[in-house]
Structure 1
Amino acid sequence: MSERYDRLRRIRREKRRQRRQQRSLKKTMKSALGWFISILTAAILGYGFVAFGFQTVYMVGPSMEPTLTDGESYLVNKAVYLVTSPERYDVVAYRIVENQDEYYSIKRVVGLPGETVLIQNGQVYINGNPLADYPVDCEIKTAGIAESAITLGENEYFLLGDNPDNSQDSRFQAAGNVQKSEMLGRVKIK
């Protein structure tokens, strides 16, 4: 009888050991699945943050001095223009649709959709009125194509550099009026 009792005890012990191993394996699998879900969630949130939230761009050239410095990096809020439209004097990063391989340019919004922009005697005129509250004190020596009045279409913006004598902006055919769809977002000025 004792032999049978010993055998039953061994079988029960073996079953308990197997149940412990199964519980341990389940615990390990749950933990691994939890880690996998956490990492996947972080990756998705990170991608969403970069794709739809914020991005870093570099200022190239002196066109926005003294506001922005050549070679410095700036944070761009990409989400802001998904829910609102650019406002006058916003500093924006943009890239012309035809030049998708080029870097982003950074300029200041001066003219809004539906407005007429004209540059005469170093002064910007919006709908015939001088732009008196421009954030940077500068005289524009080259009017470019804005020497004649330019009426902006729907979703078109007229952009200028804060250092207009060293800026390729909406005054020149290469940049021209910028579409809202070409804007990456609003640049956060430090």
Structure 2
Amino acid sequence: MRRSKGLSFYEKKKRVSLHMVREIFGMVFGTFAAVLLAAVFVFSVGMRTNVIGVSMEPTLYNGQQILVNRFGYKLTSPKKGDVIVFLPNGNQNAHYYIKRVVALPGETVQIIEGQLYVDGVPEDNETYDKMEDAGIVENEIVLKNDEYFVLGDNRNISEDSRSGNIGPVNRDTIYGKAWFHMGTENEGMGLIQ
């Protein structure tokens, strides 16, 4: 037998260890479980809908997708400033309306010279335009125990609680709180303020 002269290299066979297989399986399983849990959470607690119209600009834009927290109002009630999603008068054939709560049950609402008054106190008038149409609150109204008064942020383009066909929003028709918006061409994703 002849021996070769010079350097010789031996190839070491690579082995897949049981530890490595377990680690890879754990990472794949963990990722799958996290995605599944997130999907179950979003579909059981929330829902997704689209903004229709320009009544909530500049907060929300036409066609923008939002996530709605359906669970939160089972534990608490809507608060002033919340952006809610509701069906007007409970009409199952209507699209979801998205508006801001400006007055709570038991409060008195009136619009005088384009300015919103809640319990006789004017709302901050620098945030929103003066309203050209007072609608049903040209005369003072008192909200019942389960009623909320809502307005769009784009007040002069909004069909909201001022309209006779919507009026104050009954608690039973509120589907949830709009809490997250998807991005648009001009704006990224984020929480709804």
Quick check: TM above 0.5?
A: yes
**What's the secondary structure of 2:176's corresponding residue?**
strand
1: CA distance between counterparts of 2:112 and 2:70? 34
* Alignment-mate amino acid for residue 143 of structure 2: L
1: CA distance between counterparts of 2:60 and 2:42? 24
Higher Rg of the two aligned structures: 1
Q: Does 1:149 align with 2:140?
A: yes
Choose which of 149, 167, 177 in structure 2 pairs with 1:176: 167
Per-residue CA shift, 1:114-160, capped at 9, x if unaligned? 0000001111001111112x783321111001100010001100000
2: CA distance between counterparts of 1:98 and 1:85? 18
1: CA distance between counterparts of 2:95 and 2:48? 12
**What's the secondary structure of 1:142's corresponding residue?**
coil
Q: With structure 1 as the length reference, what TM-score do the two structures score?
A: 0.71
2: CA distance between counterparts of 1:64 and 1:97? 20
2: CA distance between counterparts of 1:71 and 1:180? 26
Who is 1:67 aligned against? 59
Who is 2:176 aligned against? 185
- Confirm or deny: 8 A CA contact 1:93 1:185 kept in the other structure: yes
Who is 1:83 aligned against? 75
Q: With structure 2 as the length reference, what TM-score do the two structures score?
A: 0.70
2: CA distance between counterparts of 1:98 and 1:124? 25
- Confirm or deny: 8 A CA contact 1:89 1:135 kept in the other structure: no
Per-residue CA shift, 1:157-181, capped at 9, x if unaligned? 0000001111110001111110111
Structure ranking higher in helix proportion: 1
Choose which of 131, 140, 155 in structure 2 pairs with 1:140: 131
- Confirm or deny: 8 A CA contact 2:89 2:166 kept in the other structure: no
Who is 1:50 aligned against? 43
**What's the secondary structure of 1:165's corresponding residue?**
helix
- Confirm or deny: 8 A CA contact 2:100 2:152 kept in the other structure: yes
| Structure 1 gap ranges (5+) | 1-41
- Confirm or deny: 8 A CA contact 1:56 1:75 kept in the other structure: yes
Alignment CA distance shift 1:80-1:145 (3 Å): same
Number of matched pairs: 146
- Confirm or deny: 8 A CA contact 1:77 1:188 kept in the other structure: yes
| Structure 2 gap ranges (5+) | 1-35, 181-189
Who is 1:162 aligned against? 153
- RMSD across aligned C-alpha pairs, in angstroms? 2.1
Alignment CA distance shift 1:110-1:130 (3 Å): same
Q: Any runs of at least 4 consecutive aligned residues in structure 1 with deviations exceeding 4 A, and if so which?
A: none
